[in-house]
Amino acid sequence: MDRVVVVGSLNMDTNLSVPHIPAVGETIIATGMSLFKGGKGANQAVAIARLGGNVEMIGAVGNDENGMNIIEGLKKEKVGVEGMIVKEDAPTGIAIISVAENGDNNIIVHSGANYQIGKEDIDRNIDLIKSASYCVLQLEIPLEVVKYTMDICHENKVKVIFNPAPARADIDTDMLSRVEYLLPNESELNIIAGKTVTEEDMVETCREIIGKGCRNVIVTLGEKGSLWVTESEYRYFEALKVNAVDTTAAGDSFIGAFTYMLAQGKDTAEAIEFATRAAAVTVTRKGAQDSLPVLAEVL
């Protein structure tokens, strides 16, 4: 099994159960509150480990109770923590997540220590990156650190799996040329493309991104499934119909499961089909890391 390294964010999530997602200026009463370990980077690392993958986490937490709990949680999940950094001058990141009765959510993140990670931290952990076959990245850490990590991966033939979330319009050609698999959702694709992408022009838009050097684009489409596009072909994958109660970590579950399968030597289509099943399990449960499935559940 190939090794995976995840470079990204770690948060403590506060989940609020609400009747619906509030409109601008609206005050509503939450019907419940729960604390969960989260952050896109940590979620994706745990998703891989819970399926049985060999994964290391590089990221930063504060020297506080939340940070220590997150590190201990990673250890229990069998995620490697050699690359974890404890920052003295910033708190651990937090996220406030509102989850509506129909499973919709919105998320507000305070980055804290996640935005204190620097190139020097990557340099200190460069051997972890060099020894991996795949590196998973997101955008909840500084953009220059993501770019720097991609450059190291490119120099050492480590394949980059890039989840551009939260999306930015300034993802440039240099970055995209380092990416083996770009995995945005629909709204992230709109921001990267700089336009509203319709169902009719989605394949063409993905091809435009591939023209900038990215080898594969996989767009996650929620209950509509996903779309895989390469330079020469494309394919839609249907979602499984389940009773969704919380979509919070669906994308992270998909990316973790997809990466796990690639590290197992499976092809892209098989990895997407497996990831679709993993995400379907995830949305039937509440929380971020708590909702991620083990291998037997996906199978």
The residues assigned a catalytic role are 252
Measured CA to CA, the distance from residue 151 to residue 248 in angstroms comes to 30
Other residues' Cβ atoms within 10 Å of the Cβ of residue 125 = 20
Residue 12 backbone dihedrals phi, psi, to 5 degrees: -105, 120
What is the pairing mode between strands 105-110 and 93-100? antiparallel
DSSP notation for 210-231: HTTT-SEEEEE-GGG-EEEE-S
Q: Any residues with CB less than 8 A from the CB of 192 and at least 6 apart, and which? A: 164, 167, 168, 169, 171, 184, 209
Q: Euclidean distance between the first and final Cα of the chain, in Å?
A: 18
